[in-house]
Amino acid sequence: MNDLPPSTGALLELRLESIQFLARDTLLYAFASPAGAALPPCEPGSHIGLHLPNGLVRQYSLLEGAASRGATR
């Protein structure tokens, strides 16, 4: 059961699981719920805003949703 809010702009607290180098100036960041819960569904190409501790918000594109991989990423 998904105990996280649906993707309606709600803030989620996530843990950075990994960073992969894909190409020059291109990194892949993988996030997961600290509780291990499934993340809300999304469509490839969707965007998220990452709220940093210093108050900045960085925008990132999503490559794929958890449903397309069968994993909680």
Domain range for 52 is 15-69
Residue 23: per-residue pLDDT: 94
Structure tokens at 22: 């894909």
User: By CB neighbour count within 10 A (0-12 exposed, 13-18 middle, 19+ buried), where does 73 fall?
Assistant: buried
Give the residue ranges of the chain where pLDDT is below 70.
1-9, 64-73
Residue 52 forms part of a structural domain: yes
Residue 5: per-residue pLDDT: 45
Cβ contacts of 29 within 8 Å, gap of 6 or more: 16, 18, 19, 60
Stretch (H or E) spanning 68: helix 66-69
Q: DSSP letters along 27-67, please? A: EEEEEE-TT-PPPPP--TT-EEEEE-TTS-EEEEE----HH
Residue 65: per-residue pLDDT: 53
Q: How many domains does the chain have?
A: 1
Residue 37 forms part of a structural domain: yes
Residue 9: per-residue pLDDT: 67
